[in-house]
Chains A and B, each alone.
Chain A
């Protein structure tokens, strides 16, 4: 922090990207057209990627852009276009007044509960003392790769089995029944 304006600059952009993420998430939930909703969700994910980079998780930010916005959302949009759902259908997509009221109440209650939980003093046995993060040697990716391939190697291998099962399941489910 050799520049006196850097903390202010950082804070400003943190709040800016946070507001972009929040606003586009609200727009995403309220859009009628699935394509517009998907585009706003992509906007949320881009803002979150910027926040990841600002929180010193550069690799996760890159993966967010590549995997979420580049792969998962493209698959969503592909299905929307495959099923020709671009225009709103005859039955209303958003639930009626009571459904919206109940959902809004549940959402506000959830946020209030999480905020109260953040403020409340925790039992000391539940609090993990912050560790001193050692300075990363070998770049950003090495800091993630070391625990992934040492402590969590089993989980990593199981993930590959999960992906294999998902690929086969998707092919079996989406295949036409009469296709030989």
Chain B
């Protein structure tokens, strides 16, 4: 089942990339990043059947970092919403020349 798991992981990662590139809602872009992290976790777990439990330890670390990232990122989104009353990335163009 290793090859199938890695193929599924690649497909999920690509779907996450497509989502980041196509969506304009900052929260959904953020959820796409979470999907990409999940895809990487799947390949970690699949390879841990071959190489021992170290991969699963890394999955736990990835989950922790994802939780921290979600907290900070959503706080940033809330702060941006207070300023601009929108989370649409089309309207958040302060750095556009």
Contacts and interface: CB of A to CB of B under 8 A. Distances in A.
Contacts of A68: 34, 38, 63, 66
Nearest to B86: A89
Interface of B: 1, 3-8, 10-19, 21-25, 27-28, 30-32, 34-35, 38, 41-42, 45-46, 48-54, 56-57, 59-61, 63-72, 74-79, 81-82, 86-88, 90-91
Interface class of chain A by DSSP = helix
B58 to A, nearest CB: 8
A39 B24 CA distance: 18
Contact of A173 (B34, B38, B72): B72
Contact of A29 (B15, B24, B64, B76): B15
B34 to A, nearest CB: 7
Given A82-B78, A94-B23, A162 B64 contact: yes
A163 B72 CA distance: 10
B21 to A, nearest CB: 4
B35 A71 contact: no
Chain B interface, DSSP helix/strand/loop, else mixed: helix
A25 B35 contact: yes
A163 to B, nearest CB: 6
Given A75-B70, A91-B88, A170-B72, A57 B59 contact: yes
Interface in A20-68: 21-22, 25-26, 28-29, 34, 37-38, 41, 44-45, 48, 51-52, 54-57, 59-60, 63-64, 67-68
Given A37-B31, A41-B34, A60-B59, A133 B70 contact: no
Contacts of B38: 44-45, 48, 68
A41 B55 CA distance: 23
Given A75-B70, A173-B76, A173-B78, A147 B53 contact: yes
Interface string A134-165: 00100000011011100110011001001101
Interface string A116-146: 0010000000001011010010000001101
